[in-house]
Structure 1
Amino acid sequence: REKANLLTYLPHNGVVVLNADDPHVAKMPVPSGRKLIRFGASADCDVYYENATSAWPQMLRFTAVVNGQRQEIRSRLLGTHWAGSILACIAVAHYLGVPLDQIARVIEAVPPYPGRMQVVRLPSGAIVIRDEFKGSQHTITAAFEELRKANAKRKFLVFCDVADSPLSPRTRLKKIGRKAAEIVDYATSSGPRWIIARLITNRRSRNSSASPWYL
């Protein structure tokens, strides 16, 4: 409701850029006379994407479609969930007159935000994917999906508590632990209430000489 109220303050020549993938945002009433630009995964949007892929070591890439024009987008971000955020930038920049090829070059140079699926290589050669910026259910789901798709012979998981879960600490950590057992070799959790949960899964054998993964 608060976001929808912001639209009422737009001048008559204002432009509204809305995320069509968010059902609440998509239903926002746009004041008469304002230009509307919709972005999202659907081809019905003014700006949308096709063929989004991301699986370590490959970072996010996709094809952006803007008013019928196609532009290959390569990024330094890990995770297909970033596609919507990049589309919002593309929609605004294109409206302001920036050519698509120039937009693509800028996006390719943008580094990951610290603590948001940030890839860090340790001196030992191990790869760390930092995603501790916010421990919400939504971000953990996205992080687990990228960990599942990652091309690595061994995967280690270190996770904290979930900030927005209605479940009890023990119940929610058990739930995360069961999910982790499907995709990693070893996982450990430590939360603000000093709850520690450990699990080792032998779901499949792995090469012990591979570099460890941490998330």
Structure 2
Amino acid sequence: MIALSLAEIAAVVGGQTYDIPDPSVRVTGPVVRDSREVAPGSLFVAFAGERVDGHDYAAAVVEAGAVAVLAARPVGVPAIVVDDVQAALGTLARHVVRRLGTTLVALTGSAGKTSTKDLIAQVLRRKAPTVFTPGSLNNEIGLPLTALSATEETRFLVLEMGARGIGHIRYLTDLTPPKVGLVLNVGTAHIGEFGGREQIAQAKGELVESLPPASEGGVAVLNADDPLVRAMASRTTAKVVLFGESGEADVRAENVRLTDSGQPAFSLRTPSGCSDVTMRLYGEHHVSNALAAAAVAHELGMSVEEIATALSEAGSLSRWRMEVTERPDGVTIVNDAYNANPESMRAALRALAAMGEASRAKGGRTWAVLGKMAELGDEALAEHDAVGRLAVRLNVGKLVAVGGREAAWLQLGAYNEGSWGEESVHVSDAQAAVDLLRSELRPGDVVLVKASRSVGLESVALALLATGAEGEVAAR
């Protein structure tokens, strides 16, 4: 964060100072909410959760080097006390962002946000210092913490924005007003909470409504291949830039193909020229993510050659998202277990099918170890059934459905699609899946592991990697 005195911070957030002998002392380190992340000069933000109360760690964080605690009550050490800690954190972030004057890029969408955010960051930081959302910290707490990690040297601030209802993104854009706003897609993630895709589109479109007009540099980057996103052009006065495979897109992909290992390659065409891209990531769905990143970077002054080179060299920065690792015995584990919704599940299965082309030539098989997709409401049965059926249509070797009712629907969908008997199996939990796979896997097999975060299926991938770790495991 930019250096601010405790007196300045108290004035910005409307707080009272307690046990601070010298209000001119400055916060020069990071603003954190986890006591394990405290460094000299930090400001520790104390949240009172259901299981852990940050106020209980106040003395420990000051001893570890924190300058003060942002708290809801006096804690016996230097503190700025406010009525609402979350609101105060947001207010502080808004103040810092306005003082910095950095170019703020915000993005949202039903699927692919984190992967695209990571691509944008890897492209832009070739041009200038860039700060971006770590992992998926895209809510009313994670977003201001990320914004507060920017410094005077930061040229670009890339923020992922999530939403679970109407008004959520509007709140986030009020905290950190973007200059460039990107909407990736409108799918069915959280449809049970929103009530329908039209409501999801309404919420996601709040991002483009927040942008400054084109005359002030505002840019809305929209997916030309998604009708609900493209329609958002009417909700903004910013310049509209379209990306996608549509011939009408300003930034588009031509000659899209997959390498033998399942990595996408294409020709990137922008208003300033064309250049070839071969990505290190896996799955054709990353083409759309790459085009979104390219459109943002092009609007911020990068050449098509610079963008293509950066996209070709970019990797995955966030764990458990199409994380491909080959064991010493030749089994490949694809850990995509961080989260799941119908769109990302279909994309992952298509990536697995593409990787399976090479594995079959070596006598290997493809395995889809899948679990529940959460927050689908009345659509849950149909969506899980459809994913099971898609696994059959893509010729996945074996489906292992893990968990309760939703997993049973996955397995039943595969079974009912026809031609499958023992190729699909329903197991009760992660350990049962691990036991099955340990007894069945052979060299050349490719195993995809994917479910919603609440299922915790990453434990299956990690156990399988540990099983094969007779030597050093080579990550790709």
TM-score range (shorter-chain normalised) is: 0.7 to 0.9
The farther-off stretch of 126-135 and 5-14 is: 5-14
Residue by residue over 1:137-159, the C-alpha shift from the partner in whole angstroms, topping out at 9 and shown as x without a partner, is 11121122222233222222211
Partners of 1:181 and 1:200 within 8 A in 2: no
Letter of the 1:188 counterpart: V
Q: Which runs of 5+ in 1 are unaligned?
A: 203-207
Partners of 1:38 and 1:47 within 8 A in 2: yes
Whole-angstrom CA distance in 1 between matches of 2:297 and 2:391: 39
Residue by residue over 1:42-61, the C-alpha shift from the partner in whole angstroms, topping out at 9 and shown as x without a partner, is 11111111122225514111
1:33-112 matched pairs, under 5 angstroms: 34-54=238-258, 56-67=260-271, 69-112=273-316
Whole-angstrom CA distance in 2 between matches of 1:44 and 1:56: 30
Shift in CA distance, 174/117, structure 1 to aligned 2, threshold 3 Å: same
Whole-angstrom CA distance in 2 between matches of 1:174 and 1:18: 31
Whole-angstrom CA distance in 1 between matches of 2:222 and 2:323: 27
Partners of 2:342 and 2:387 within 8 A in 1: no
The farther-off stretch of 17-26 and 54-63 is: 54-63
Is residue 211 of structure 2 the alignment partner of residue 10 of structure 1?
yes
Whole-angstrom CA distance in 1 between matches of 2:314 and 2:404: 33
Whole-angstrom CA distance in 1 between matches of 2:304 and 2:383: 44
CA apart distance, 1:129: 1.5
Shift in CA distance, 155/66, structure 1 to aligned 2, threshold 3 Å: same
Whole-angstrom CA distance in 2 between matches of 1:172 and 1:86: 27
Is residue 418 of structure 2 the alignment partner of residue 214 of structure 1?
no
Whole-angstrom CA distance in 2 between matches of 1:60 and 1:176: 22
1 or 2, which has the higher strand percentage?
1
Residue 134 of structure 1, aligned match among 311, 314, 339: 339
TM-score normalized with structure 2 length: 0.39
RMSD over aligned CA atoms reads 2.9
Number of aligned positions between the proteins = 208
Shift in CA distance, 200/147, structure 1 to aligned 2, threshold 3 Å: farther
Whole-angstrom CA distance in 1 between matches of 2:236 and 2:384: 45
Residue 117 of structure 1, aligned match among 313, 322, 326: 322
- Aligned residue for 1:45, secondary structure, equals coil
Whole-angstrom CA distance in 1 between matches of 2:236 and 2:385: 47
Compare CA radii of gyration and give the structure with the larger one. 2
1 or 2, which has the higher helix percentage?
2
Shift in CA distance, 68/144, structure 1 to aligned 2, threshold 3 Å: same
CA apart distance, 1:191: 2.0
- Aligned residue for 2:267, secondary structure, equals strand
Whole-angstrom CA distance in 1 between matches of 2:351 and 2:224: 23
Identity of aligned residues (%): 27
Residue by residue over 1:36-89, the C-alpha shift from the partner in whole angstroms, topping out at 9 and shown as x without a partner, is 211111111111111222255141111111016111011111111111111111
- Aligned residue for 1:36, secondary structure, equals strand
Letter of the 2:444 counterpart: S
CA apart distance, 1:178: 4.6
Whole-angstrom CA distance in 2 between matches of 1:130 and 1:79: 13
Letter of the 1:2 counterpart: A
CA apart distance, 1:121: 1.1
Shift in CA distance, 55/131, structure 1 to aligned 2, threshold 3 Å: farther
The farther-off stretch of 149-158 and 44-53 is: 149-158
Higher relative contact order (CA 8 A, sep 6+): 1
Whole-angstrom CA distance in 2 between matches of 1:3 and 1:195: 29
Residue by residue over 1:115-143, the C-alpha shift from the partner in whole angstroms, topping out at 9 and shown as x without a partner, is 22221112222111122122211112112
Whole-angstrom CA distance in 1 between matches of 2:231 and 2:443: 48
CA apart distance, 1:20: 1.5
Whole-angstrom CA distance in 2 between matches of 1:174 and 1:5: 32
Residue 402 of structure 2, aligned match among 169, 173, 190: 190
TM-score normalized with structure 1 length: 0.81
Whole-angstrom CA distance in 2 between matches of 1:93 and 1:168: 37
